[in-house]
Structure 1
Amino acid sequence: MAEYKHGEMDISVQEKTFDGFIKFTIRSIIFIIATLLFIALVNG
């Protein structure tokens, strides 16, 4: 087994996945808030 050296691993794929997850989460939250506001305005 190779000896572990901190900071040598290529994490570009993990960074792209995390960025995509964050973008999806933010867009989902915005959509949910907009939907709730729409429902509140229509039923108000």
Structure 2
Amino acid sequence: MAEHEHGSMNYEEQQKTFDGFMSFVTRGTVVILVILVLLAIFAG
């Protein structure tokens, strides 16, 4: 088994991936809300 020292994990790439995912989700949510508002205004 590999030796593991508590607190020695490099998590920079994981943090970058999570930040990118959260950015994608936030932008996607905003786009969906804008589409729904436009549909309510023009198709309702």
1:24 aligned partner, one-letter code: F
Match of 2:42 in 1: 42
**CA deviation after TM superposition for structure 1 residue 5, in Å:** 1.6
User: Percent of counterpart pairs with the same letter?
Assistant: 43
Q: Would you identify which runs of 4 or more consecutive aligned residues in structure 1 move more than 4 Å? A: none
Unaligned runs of 5+ in 2: none
Q: Give structure 1 stretches of 5+ with no counterpart.
A: none
When the two structures are superposed, what TM-score results if normalisation uses the length of structure 2?
0.88
User: In the aligned structure 2, how far is the partner of 1:30 from the partner of 1:22?
Assistant: 12
What is the match of residue 17 of structure 2? 17
Separation in 2, partners of 1:6, 1:42: 57
